[in-house]
Structure 1
């Protein structure tokens, strides 16, 4: 019995060390798993945002071409229908994976582009077209700002709306009647 009492501190030390190792390993594994999950979802979120932006930009570009009357209207309307379909699929991924501020900004951009698309389909070229195009560009800037913030992307602003307005003012004489969005 005396030898068991003498070995008790050593046995308790081994037991405490084993429990400590198990706890530390478990916490490290849990932390590593969480980091991998975060990276995994951030990658998927980035893909969803990029696909949404590409699809919505395609809708906007085709609608702008329709307003400008540059190409065959029937072909452009068919291309617009296909682009709308791709946009709808991409929108679902944004709703599924996006954070609140980015989904809100995406919705505003989508709504602004829908206004441009409605004009294109109606074959009207109203006086407020430059305002609609600028609003869509500003909404795009807000989407990118929210998406970059949600993903933790640094590097400063990527806003384009003000630049596009200044280019429009500078090139108005040489490109009269051309859509302002690029």
Structure 2
């Protein structure tokens, strides 16, 4: 019995060491799993954002061509319908995977492009077109800003709206809302 009592501190030390090792390993494994999950979802989120941006930009481009009236209207309307189908699928992925600020920004961009598309489909007067296009470009900038923020992408602004206005309109000929 005395021999067992003498060895009891060593046995307790081994037991505490074993339990400590199990707990530390478990915590490390859990942290590693969470990191992998985070990376996995960030990759999927990036893919969803990129696909949404590509599809919505396609809708915007086709609608702009329709407004310009340079191509076959029926063919362009068919292309616009197909592009909208791709956009709808991409939108669902943004809703599923996106964080709240990015979804909000994506919705604003989508709504601005829908206004451009409405003009294209209706063949309406294009008096407010420069302002609509500028709003769509600003909304795109906000989407990219939110998406980059949500994904932790650094590197400064990638805003294009102001640059596009500078290219399209010299300062003296800009629409009043963009001066």
Task: Please say whether Structure 1 and Structure 2 have the same fold, judged by a TM-score greater than 0.5.
Answer: yes
Deviations 1:160-182 (A, max 9, x none): 00000000114999xxxxxxxxx
With normalisation by structure 1, the TM-score equals 0.93
Alignment of 1:5-154 (within 5 A): 5-154=5-154
What does residue 161 of structure 1 align with? 161
Q: Aligned partners of 2:75 and 2:135: how far apart in 1?
A: 27
Q: Aligned partners of 1:127 and 1:117: how far apart in 2?
A: 15
**1:115 shift after superposition:** 0.2
Match of 2:169, SS? helix
**1:156 shift after superposition:** 0.3
Q: Given that residues 63 and 120 in structure 1 are in contact (C-alpha distance below 8 angstroms), is that contact kept between their aligned partners in structure 2?
A: yes
Q: Aligned partners of 2:124 and 2:166: how far apart in 1?
A: 25
**1:55 shift after superposition:** 0.2
Higher relative contact order (CA 8 A, sep 6+): 1
Q: Aligned partners of 1:171 and 1:118: how far apart in 2?
A: 28
Q: Aligned partners of 2:125 and 2:22: how far apart in 1?
A: 70
Deviations 1:52-72 (A, max 9, x none): 000000000000000001111
Query: Which of 122-131 and 106-115 deviates more?
Result: 122-131
Q: What count of residue pairs does the alignment treat as equivalent?
A: 173
Q: Given that residues 67 and 125 in structure 1 are in contact (C-alpha distance below 8 angstroms), is that contact kept between their aligned partners in structure 2?
A: no
Q: Aligned partners of 2:148 and 2:15: how far apart in 1?
A: 48
Q: What residue ranges of structure 2 are gaps of 5+ in the alignment?
A: 174-179
What does residue 4 of structure 1 align with? 4
- Which portions of structure 1, spanning 4 or more consecutive aligned residues, are displaced by more than 2 angstroms? 170-173
Q: Aligned partners of 1:46 and 1:126: how far apart in 2?
A: 35
**1:127 shift after superposition:** 1.2
Match of 1:93, SS? helix
